[in-house]
Amino acid sequence: ELARSGTCVAKERAAGALQNLAVNADNKVAIAAAGGIGPLVELARSGTCVAKERAAGALQNLAVNADNKVAIAAAGGIGPLVELARSGTSVAKENAAGALWKLALNADNQVEIAAAGGIGPLVEL
């Protein structure tokens, strides 16, 4: 809930907690089932710099799971990750590139990443 409607600091901390929790395989499933992917995509799109870094990190960890690869793309996550890889902070670029790497293991996501202009920013990193 904090990732959706908390203060800026609360959102940053919630995204950080989800980033850490998403290292665990069971938590990857639980976060997705609780509706956590959409708010993380929104934070990656329009959060503070710190929230964007942590949201991209959480999405990177979640994207290890095959179902989450599809869910992140369906939630509109590829565009914000490409934008962070292009113009985010150094930490956001690193986390976004990691997320795109894991998302690109899905053939449909490969097409979407390329269509979103993701190849150039990744090459430039």
pLDDT band at residue 6 using 50, 70 and 90 as cut-offs: confident
Residue 3 is predicted with a pLDDT of: 63
pLDDT-derived band at 36 (thresholds 50, 70, 90) equals very high
pTM value is 0.95
Tokens for 56, please give them. 């991209």
Task: Report the distance separating Cα 78 and Cα 118, nearest Å.
Answer: 9
Residue 1 above 70 pLDDT?
no
Q: What is the pLDDT of residues 64-88, one digit of tens each?
A: 999 999 999 999 999 999 999 999 9
